[in-house]
A and B are shown apart, each in its own frame.
Chain A
């Protein structure tokens, strides 16, 4: 060994120093670092677990959201359909009511026209009769002589006499 330039005592000292260094490093450096790494690993694993749980919750929430939207769409469709039905029924009812009212108005109008026509006819008839009567009275007053009047009285007296028999 000496021929190779290696001093045994020096080598032993270096080995001893190395061993002491190793012990010190293990005690004061490796263990804290390993512990820190282990803690970090645990933190990461917990983070991953939390992340996975959060992901699952997010997926569940997304699914729930999609379900709610689908359900809402379905309900909206049903409501729209129902509203359309109600709208059509209302439209039909309004048209029927309007037609009925129109018929009533026409009927009433015809009745009023007929009434007005009858009243006008009656008025015309009354005016015609009044004029005719006035003419007859005038003619009788102007044309009947005293002799005619006596003849009429005699005729009426005969009629009266018949009542007493």
Chain B
């Protein structure tokens, strides 16, 4: 049974990008994954990946949020 992976981005992933990500996920978690690409303009750029409880955030909104925290703590 394939494990569903939610990939969220501002613009749709290309097939190549999805394949590359699937390969990397296999290396990391060693499983059979079904990638579902969702669009969310609030990410501003980049993407996020969720596999069950595991979450990876490579979005620009996340980067901006970290930058904001850094500036506020400065």
Q: Do A and B come from one complex?
A: yes
Q: How many residues belonging to A are interface residues under a CB distance threshold of 8 Å?
A: 27
Flag if A159 contacts B44 (CB, 8 Å): no
Q: How many residues belonging to B are interface residues under a CB distance threshold of 8 Å?
A: 26
Known: A157-B17, A157-B21. A164 touches B11 (CB 8 A): no
Cross-interface CB contact of A141 among B9, B27, B41, cutoff 8 Å: B41
CB neighbours (8 Å) of B56 from chain A are 160
How distant is the Cα of A154 from the Cα of B41 in the complex, in angstroms? 17
Q: Choose among A140, A157, A159, A161 the residue with the greatest number of B CB atoms under 10 Å from its CB.
A: A157
Chain B nearest CB from A23 CB (Å) reads: 149
Chain A nearest CB from B15 CB (Å) reads: 13
Tell me if A's interface is mostly helix, strand, loop or mixed: helix
Which residues 109-165 of A sit at the B interface, judged by CB distance below 8 A? 122, 125-126, 129-130, 132-133, 136-137, 140-141, 144, 146, 148-150, 152-154, 156-157, 159-161, 163-165
Which residues 16-37 of B sit at the A interface, judged by CB distance below 8 A? 17, 20-21, 24, 27-28
Flag if A159 contacts B58 (CB, 8 Å): yes
Chain A nearest CB from B20 CB (Å) reads: 6
Flag if A129 contacts B71 (CB, 8 Å): yes
Flag if A141 contacts B44 (CB, 8 Å): yes
How distant is the Cα of A156 from the Cα of B67 in the complex, in angstroms? 17
What is the number of contacts between chain A and chain B, taking CB atoms within 8 Å?
65
How distant is the Cα of A135 from the Cα of B18 in the complex, in angstroms? 31
CB neighbours (8 Å) of A140 from chain B are 44-45, 60
Flag if B41 contacts A133 (CB, 8 Å): no
Flag if B46 contacts A126 (CB, 8 Å): no
Q: Give A148's nearest chain B residue, CB to CB.
A: B45
How distant is the Cα of A164 from the Cα of B11 in the complex, in angstroms? 24
Cβ contacts A to B, 25 pairs, < 8 Å: A129-B71, A129-B72, A133-B64, A136-B64, A137-B64, A140-B60, A144-B44, A148-B45, A149-B10, A150-B11, A150-B14, A150-B17, A152-B46, A153-B46, A154-B17, A157-B17, A159-B58, A160-B24, A160-B58, A161-B20, A163-B24, A163-B28, A164-B24, A164-B27, A164-B28
